[in-house]
Amino acid sequence: MTSSPATGADERRGPLRVGDKVQLTDPKGRMHTITLNEHATFHTHKGYFRHADLIGKPEGWVVTNTAGIEYLVLRPLLSDFVLSMPRGAAVVYPKDAGQIVQMADIFPGARVVEAGVGSGALTMSLLRAVGDAGELHSIERREDFAAIARGNVETFFGGEHPAWRLHIGDLADRVADVVEPGTVDRVVLDMLAPWENVDAVAGALAPGGVLVCYVATATQLSRTAEDLRADGRFSEPVAWESMVRGWHLEGLAVRPQHRMIGHTGFLVSARRLADGVVPPERKRRPAKGAHPGPAEEWTEEDLGERPVSDKKIRKVRREVGQAPEQTA
């Protein structure tokens, strides 16, 4: 039994082929990503080699250029692709995507709604997890971001993924149009103000379903948790963050690296209760001032949003083959 070509599974096995993306690593650890073309060459200021020298070779091959420099040749992992792909919006880092897939228990065949697609980084991890038999409905309010995400996802999977449906608009307006109420297994939100969509998410999730929100700041984290509690249809929210520190490995010189991937975002999760159930009263006494009055209206700048220029968006759309259609 073979996998569907749309998922790219078969194409990621066996000898290197024309059209494959491969990652070249030189003796200093510098990486280059190229797409194999039988008529192309890979040039640096220190020599070149022909792509044809790699076609038909197995992964893990070492190719030597005209200057005697050796390159290790491997297909890029999903994490490699995410960190090097064209992007408009900031991407969800692999460390956070892995946490979301695991802690939300994204399983094969699951029906998942994702809102805030950005450049498609998290989308690819979710598609890997739900598999061909699952459903991933991605809702993005910006058409230009959606186009970039589509280009990146289809580049990685080698075409359209059978489980993916991409929708333009706001989650609150579109979710009832794309899924039946109470039928969604998991919802993942990557947006500035997830608390504005608590009611829409509660209506979409099946009892026991999981909501995971990815937020950048402590103020967003607090507001999301308090609104989930106030809604009354979710279990007690839990929150965490992860940090990754690499290690330098050279003989006996084994030590932590000087740089690390520290704070990228917070994750907050809660589960949908059955209709009509009143959650057990919390026994822990809240700290003084823990529940202030209604929050004033926050702007995108207040929430840490960094605007992306139209010029950059046009450039990235061209890079992923999703340039906007020209109008007369």
For residue 67, the one-letter residue type is A
Q: How far apart are CA 99 and CA 102, in angstroms?
A: 5
Residues 119, 149: contact at Cβ < 8 Å?
A: yes
Binding site residues for S-adenosyl-L-methionine, as ranges?
119-122, 140, 170, 190
Spatial distance between the Cα atoms of 124 and 154, rounded to a whole number of angstroms: 10
Summarize the annotated binding site as residue ranges: 119-122, 140, 170, 190
**Radius of gyration (Cα) for the chain, nearest Å?**
23
Q: Which long-range contacts (CB under 8 A, 24 or more apart) does 16-20 make?
A: 16/54, 16/55, 16/56, 16/57, 16/58, 16/59, 16/61, 16/73, 16/75, 17/55, 17/56, 18/55, 20/75
Please compute, for residue 121, the number of CA atoms within 13 A of its CA located in the half-sphere on the CB side.
24
Contact 261, 244 (CB under 8 A): yes
Instruction: List alpha helices for the chain, DSSP H.
Output: 78-84, 94-103, 121-130, 143-157, 171-178, 198-204, 218-231, 310-319
Q: What is the DSSP letter of 234?
A: B
